[in-house]
Amino acid sequence: MKAEYDLSSLKSRKNPYAAKLKKPVSMRLSEDVVEYFKGMAGEAGVPYQSLIDLYLRDCMVNHRKIRITWPSDRA
């Protein structure tokens, strides 16, 4: 193994998979929800968007389903 390598002749190129790693989306989230994840993200030392992504990925991997019950319509 050489002590030093000359990389000046190499050409840089973009990662062809980078665009497929994450998809930008716009979402409307409640202010208190955003603050909650920002607080947790600060404690964990990660960006809050990454924390939300990790949480949603955990839900997906574990096939978590949300149960929503609405009050029955009263006539």
pLDDT one-digit tens code per residue, 14-65: 887 776 788 889 999 999 999 999 999 999 999 999 999 999 999 999 999 9
How far apart, in whole angstroms, are the C-alpha atoms of residue 35 and residue 41? 10
Radius of gyration of the chain (CA): 22
Residue 34, C-beta contacts closer than 8 angstroms, at least 6 positions apart: 48
Confidence label for 74 from pLDDT (cuts 50, 70 and 90): low
The single-letter DSSP state of residue 6 is -
How far apart, in whole angstroms, are the C-alpha atoms of residue 73 and residue 75? 6
